[in-house]
Amino acid sequence: MALDTRERVRRAAVKLFADKGFHGTGIRDLATESQLSTASLYHYMGSKEDLLVDIMRRCLQTLLDTATAELADVEDPATRLRKLVKLHVRAHARMPRETRIVDHEIPVLSPAVRRSVIGLRDSYERLWADAVADGVEAGVFTTAHPGVTRLALLEMCTGVARWYSPRGSLPLDELASHYADVALRAVGACSQSAAEGQSRGE
């Protein structure tokens, strides 16, 4: 099944934006990587920035949709946090370039579109904030500074995109579980709790 050209352009952009940065990637680089002429490129994209926005939105939307779906009927805060961590780690390990682009290139966006992308990111992060807040409120998490903790965990998990390699010795699922353990310890939740037990079924 041949790769549709539009998709080829997107993949080229993901690769280059992640590896060389948005400003470090030229239209010619994109054209070469897409095996297209620079002029043809413009049949499959709007501007260079449109391409960037498209990549960012898809990535964030995927994250948001997946998380929303997974958390749909989960009440227990520990389980919710556990699921968020695992999902986040897995996503960043599997789409390291897309997530790194979201992580690095937001400041290059023009104001209007930046706001909307940040809105999307905030929606996603609110899921984390809520999970932590709920846990604290329910008394299952004991952390003096929930906001800080949330940021610390997010950064830790996001960092996976900067070093994970599928050739590493630790299988991705175990890695994700390991991160979840660290996270639960960080919020002071007993990791031998039901949350852990429930996770066995995943």
- Which residues of the chain form contacts with DNA (CB under 7 A)? 5, 25-29, 36-44, 47-49
Q: Maximum Cα–Cα distance for the chain, whole Å? A: 60
Shortest Å distance, C-beta 45 to DNA: 8
Of residues 81, 153, 180, 195, which one binds a second copy by CB under 8 A?
153
The window from 6-14, 52-60, 67-75, 140-148 that contacts a second copy (CB under 8 A) reads: 140-148
- How many Å apart are CA 60 and CA 158, to the nearest integer? 13
Residue 23 binds a second copy (CB under 8 A): yes
Count other Cβ atoms within 10 Å, centred on residue 66.
16
Of residues 39, 73, 145, 165, which one binds a second copy by CB under 8 A?
145
Asked if 105 and 22 touch (Cβ cutoff 8 Å), the reply is yes
By a kind-dependent CB cut-off of 5 to 8 A, residue 173 interacts, out of DNA, a second copy, none, with none
Asked if 117 and 56 touch (Cβ cutoff 8 Å), the reply is yes
- How many Å apart are CA 176 and CA 157, to the nearest integer? 9
Shortest Å distance, C-beta 195 to a second copy: 16
Which residues, 6 or more positions from 148, have their beta carbon under 8 angstroms from its beta carbon? none
The window from 34-42, 43-51, 76-84, 162-170 that contacts a second copy (CB under 8 A) reads: 162-170
**Assigned token pair, 200:** 């066995």
Of residues 55, 84, 154, 180, which one binds a second copy by CB under 8 A?
154
172 burial via Cβ count (<10 Å: 0-12, 13-18, 19+): middle
Query: Which residues contact a second copy by CB under 8 A?
Result: 19-24, 104, 107-108, 144-145, 148-149, 151-156, 158-160, 162-163, 170, 175, 178-179, 182, 185-186
